[in-house]
């Protein structure tokens, strides 16, 4: 068979119904976890003014320099498909006057993210993020809250063996001094850095910690760590975050390599990784961004949050064998004759309105083929419509697990089915 003429664009994928059931399961787990922790959902547009990302994420980042899907719309405005979730959320909160007043905003989102990356396992050009933000709280408890909700979400989908890696990348004051220190350390080996890291050396040397090239990893391994050069305020905050995590029983390791790929981060940076993922092993990543609201033209407001790739979470749950319960029909309506087939749709309507998941055969197939289909669809019950039964206002209800069947008045089908499900009558 020749390849289909049109395929989903490189780095994107289709989600067909069976897989979509797993998506809904993970999304529901995320929504439930967030709701129980007092978060409300926020939905922002799929595209924004390019400036929101260029300024918010920062023009030294890979995202802004290489990965944005930016185009001019028909009105000559530069717009960009959502390249990450945080800047749009802060833009929206500023626009709607939600910042500045006292109090904390706790919001979550589920959104597609577009980045022109080199596609590989776990790295897509369109991926989907479950993310949340706590805005307006400067203290370390907010960082711990965000992380705790992230870990609860992962636990809710059965991922309990992921590793939380924690770091502090300081603030504008201590990071500037640390950058110089890092440059001094790397300068003698500058020529040995990969071309990307040579650019990073000037623009943002912390990002060299993130490089996957073995030679760069070797060079950076002995470098001074940011956490040893924090100013007093950043140090106190970082200690506070660790204490708050311990108080909540959350296990973490300190990792100087967690520097994050977005410029807005201040102080706390974290990632949750899982061994089942390959080189792209982050299930979830986030941190604090106390300067972002001001950069986007709002009142100075602290914030902290994370984003988690749904595709990666589903990859890991697939490996672990966790997922939603197998979807099953309550009832499959099978018609024994053409005359009876006319009644299948209306009966399905009625059963559905009584809360039962019901389907029937739209193809006019034989009764045998319909019963096969009922089994294939994991139906708990078959409802067989024959001419005789219909004439008497009845149908045959068959429990497909026990094989027990009885003729039941059509009016009583739903009630009887529900009763049988509670206490199945045994075959005589």
* Chain positions contacting ligand HAM, by CB under 6 A: 84-86, 115, 117, 122-124, 127, 129, 131, 133, 261-262, 282-287, 289, 305-309, 311-312
133 versus 399: smaller Cβ distance to ligand HAM? 133
134 versus 197: smaller Cβ distance to ligand HAM? 134
> Least distance (Å) from ligand HAM to the CB of residue 31?
17
**Residues 128, 311: Cα–Cα separation, whole Å:** 7
40 versus 355: smaller Cβ distance to ligand HAM? 40
**Residues 70, 81: Cα–Cα separation, whole Å:** 7
> Least distance (Å) from ligand HAM to the CB of residue 314?
11
**Residues 217, 221: Cα–Cα separation, whole Å:** 6
Helix (H) or strand (E) holding 295: helix 292-295
**Residue 81 CB: number of other CB atoms within 10 A?**
19
Contact 168, 219 (CB under 8 A): no
Q: HEC profile for 367-408?
A: HHHHHHHHHHCCCCEEEEECHHHHHCCEEEEEECCCCCEEEE
Alpha-carbon distances, residue 163 vs 58, 151, 252, 347 (angstroms)? 28, 10, 7, 52
| Residue labelled with tokens 């979509």 | 20
> Least distance (Å) from ligand HAM to the CB of residue 290?
11
Find, among 289, 288, 285, 287, the residue nearest to 308 by Cα. Answer: 285
> Least distance (Å) from ligand HAM to the CB of residue 195?
22
Burial class (CB in 10 A: 0-12, 13-18, 19+), 146: buried
> Least distance (Å) from ligand HAM to the CB of residue 228?
24
44 versus 308: smaller Cβ distance to ligand HAM? 308
Contact 118, 72 (CB under 8 A): no
> Least distance (Å) from ligand HAM to the CB of residue 292?
9
139 versus 261: smaller Cβ distance to ligand HAM? 261
> Least distance (Å) from ligand HAM to the CB of residue 322?
17
292 versus 374: smaller Cβ distance to ligand HAM? 292
61 versus 358: smaller Cβ distance to ligand HAM? 61
């Amino acid at each position: 068979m020749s390849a289909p003429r049109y395929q989903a664009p490189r780095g994107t994928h289709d989600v067909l119904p069976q897989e979509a059931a797993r998506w809904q399961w993970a999304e529901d787990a995320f929504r439930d976890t967030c709701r129980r922790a007092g978060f409300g959902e926020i939905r922002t547009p799929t595209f924004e003014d390019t400036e929101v990302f260029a300024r918010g994420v920062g023009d030294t980042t890979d995202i802004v320099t290489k990965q944005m899907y930016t185009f001019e719309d028909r009105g000559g405005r530069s717009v960009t498909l959502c390249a990450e979730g945080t800047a749009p959320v802060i833009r929206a909160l500023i626009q709607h006057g939600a910042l500045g007043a006292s109090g904390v905003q706790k919001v979550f989102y589920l959104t597609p993210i577009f980045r022109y990356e080199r596609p590989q396992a776990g790295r897509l050009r369109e991926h989907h993020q479950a993310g949340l933000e706590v805005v307006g709280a400067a203290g370390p408890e907010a960082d711990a809250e965000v992380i705790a909700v992230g870990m609860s979400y992962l636990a809710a989908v059965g991922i309990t063996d992921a590793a939380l890696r924690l770091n502090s990348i300081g603030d504008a004051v201590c990071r500037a001094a640390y950058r110089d220190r890092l440059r001094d350390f790397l300068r003698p080996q500058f020529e040995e850095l990969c071309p990307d890291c040579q650019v990073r050396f000037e623009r943002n040397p912390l990002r060299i910690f993130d490089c996957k090239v073995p030679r760069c990893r070797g060079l950076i391994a002995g470098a001074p760590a940011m956490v040893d050069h924090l100013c007093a305020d950043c140090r106190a905050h970082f200690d506070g975050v660790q204490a708050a995590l311990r108080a909540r029983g959350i296990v973490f390791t300190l990792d100087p390599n967690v520097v994050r790929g977005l410029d807005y981060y201040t102080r706390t940076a974290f990632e949750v990784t899982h061994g089942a993922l390959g080189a792209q092993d982050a299930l979830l990543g986030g941190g604090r961004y106390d300067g972002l609201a001001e950069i986007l033209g709002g009142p100075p407001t602290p914030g902290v949050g994370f984003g988690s790739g749904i595709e990666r979470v589903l990859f890991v749950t697939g490996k672990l064998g966790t997922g939603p319960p197998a979807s099953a029909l309550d009832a499959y309506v099978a018609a024994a004759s053409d005359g009876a087939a006319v009644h299948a749709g209306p009966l399905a309507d009625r059963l559905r309105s009584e809360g039962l998941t019901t389907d029937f055969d739209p193809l006019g197939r034989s009764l045998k083929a319909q019963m096969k289909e009922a089994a294939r669809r994991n139906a708990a019950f078959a409802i067989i419509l024959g001419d005789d039964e219909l004439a008497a206002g009845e149908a045959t209800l068959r429990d497909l697990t026990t094989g027990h069947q009885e003729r039941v008045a059509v009016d009583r089908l739903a009630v009887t089915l529900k009763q049988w499900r509670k206490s199945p009558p045994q075959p005589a």
